[in-house]
Structure 1
């Protein structure tokens, strides 16, 4: 194998694939990236056995061939080479070593045979549809902060993606919850997504897809079965196993009788919560909201730090209410609201609260209160 490639092109592809590779591996081959040179292109593949990424990049191929090299080491070398470098990669003889040279720098890396690299699990992915990259980015951003990190309830460790109906209109809906808060986002159901199985996309896969979406401007093709999902970008294909579990009936958590509505300027609210929560203890992060006519009083107290109070004008009339929340959860939700106004629907101090963007119906958040 022999090829020449521009540093920027190789670095970009390596950045995508190496992040799938776990830092600690008991199986040596899983620390490596598979490099295949053929037909004017270099193909890079990395896997952790649950998640596989393949990316193709143009290169000048002197001799076709394939090998595997340590992913993180290779990425660090290319990252530290000067901008604009032309990189030459070659396999010399049968000694299992690969040389990488650029300018006056030469590196020799130990490789493992291409045959040792796990074959990607092929199989039919019957469902196939396209989603605009901007919409998919929105879907991930509006829900992933609520993914649970508690390993015992593994079925909550991802985003639940499924076809649903909203007001008689078919939608593609994403839901994530950690038991304390719930995030739901929906968009018009894409062509080809009707009848798709409900799937739980693992947290790591969601993170890798989000990184790739940073550079995607067109639409992303999603193909899935009941056990696997595949995201195809321009030159990158990410395939992942799905979480094998049943997502809970989230509809039961979304309250329907919350009759106390408060409209508040999102920016002022976020900043006030941030300021007041400086006082709250690291453990509870509790902030109290006291509502009365056109006024919201935010307060926090802690034995070690003292107390803080701030008032904001809001759109609210009716019977007053005092309710407590984890300030971090309030800030996470406020961060997702893109419009100027946030809409809160309360019931009482012990019941879940609904939060929405006053100007956008596509996202809905549910927040459990806490005692303060």
Structure 2
């Protein structure tokens, strides 16, 4: 194969595909990116970790069509360090790839394309489109709550399911829950309940920054495919059952605090400065229109701050993990958040208002 491509175009595309490639691989071919120079012009780049696969097509002048594979991270680093504005020539033959740009020359070993694994998508019966902005909102408002605990692998992703005429996305790590509700897109009726893995969510979110308009989504019970402009992302889904999270969403929390999320978050952040790294616990004492945040740390002393808010129910004290609380408050876009409380041991519900697409549940801590 022989092709010429602009450095900026190559770098941008390699930035997308190489992040799928795992740094440590026992199978050498999985460290490589598949490069296919197309007879009609253009280059196709593909990378995979056997669970997630990305394919991107970019503009290039093709002299000789052909396919090879070369180290993804090495090629990315070369492209990153080449002079801005340079034209990059890629020429692969006899187990080597020659890379030329301006006064720089590189020769990299290649591996045959036949060894490169490709995820078989199979039938993807459910097909629908979602606006890129909606998909960004779903990810941004839920992914912070995805669990990183490998033993509960079924929580290591975002749960997507359809209920009547709405689509719901949820993530939880057992301490907090985030859920977003959007209108059900045409074509999604009858879709299976799926769990999209954390790594796929991360790569999808990066690609969404460059997409306007809609994203085509096709899925089965085991695989999902996203078509985003010039890029196609295919991922295996998590094979597990997501817990019935609706059971933990409180419906009878009658003590309501209305507060500005930004000043609340800043207050929590300030008093949490002295909280012990292990627990990050902050106590919240509620009184009529008076909220006092405090931290007591055996090593670092004490801190307290009053924050303004509307509260007219019976006063009591409750404790939260400061980081979890701040993660939720960071997602609230308006200038008011409703905090629905019951008692010091019951889950707390947070949302902008009763019409908001997103709601959050946070488990309290003993303080």
| TM-score normalised by L of structure 2 | 0.99
User: 1:181 touches 1:368 (CA, 8 Å); kept in 2?
Assistant: yes
Alignment of 1:332 with 2:365, yes or no, is no
Contact 1:294 1:313 in 2 (8 A): yes
Q: For 2:355 and 2:42, how far apart are their aligned partners in 1?
A: 44
1:292 aligns with 2:287: yes
Unaligned runs of 5+ in 2: none
Residue 155 of structure 2 corresponds to 156
CA RMSD, 1 decimal: 0.8
Partner secondary structure for residue 204 of structure 2: helix
Deviation at 1:104, TM superposition (A): 0.3
Equivalent in the alignment of 1:62? 63
1:255, 1:352 within 8 Å by CA — same for their partners in 2?
Answer: yes
**How does 1:23-42 map onto structure 2 within 5 Å?**
23-38=23-38, 39-42=40-43
- Determine whether 1:106 maps to 2:105: yes
Give the distance between the partners of 1:351 and 1:122, measured in 2 at CA. Answer: 44
Counterpart of 1:184 in structure 2 is 179
Counterpart of 1:194 in structure 2 is 189
Shift in Å, 1:359: 7.8
Secondary structure (helix, strand or coil) at the match of 1:45 reads strand
Matches within 5 A, 1:152-231: 152-165=151-164, 170-231=165-226
CA shift, 1:82, in A, is 1.1
Asked whether the 8 Å contact 1:341–1:359 carries over to 2, the reply is no
Distance 1:72 1:360, change over 3 A: farther
In structure 2, the residue matched to 1:53 is: 54
Where 1:134 maps in the other structure, the secondary structure is helix
Instruction: Give TM-score, length-normalised by structure 1.
Output: 0.97
Give the equivalent residue in structure 1 for 2:16: 16
Is the 1:339–1:359 contact (alpha carbons within 8 Å) kept by the matching residues of 2? no
Contact 2:34 2:68 in 1 (8 A): yes
User: What are the Cα deviations for residues 99-156 of structure 1, in whole angstroms up to 9, with x where unaligned?
Assistant: 0000000000000001111133131100000000011000000000000011111100
| Match in the other structure for 2:116 | 117
Q: What is the aligned length?
A: 366
C-alpha distance in 1, partners of 2:333/2:227?
A: 28
Question: 8 Å contact 1:175–1:184 — kept in the other structure?
Answer: yes
Check conservation: 2:256, 2:313, Cα contact below 8 A: no
| Residue aligning to 1:312 | 307
Deviations 1:41-98 (A, max 9, x none): 1000000000010000010000000000000000000011111110000013x2x000
Tell me the CA shift for residue 214 of structure 1. Answer: 1.2
Distance apart, 1:316 and its partner CA: 0.7
Ranges in structure 1 where 5+ consecutive residues have no aligned partner: none
CA separation in 1, counterparts of 2:88 and 2:351? 51
Pairwise CA distance, 1:220: 0.6
Structure 2 SS opposite 1:325:
strand
Aligned to 1:144: 143
Aligned residue for 1:23, secondary structure, equals coil
For 2:76, the equivalent position in structure 1 comes to 75
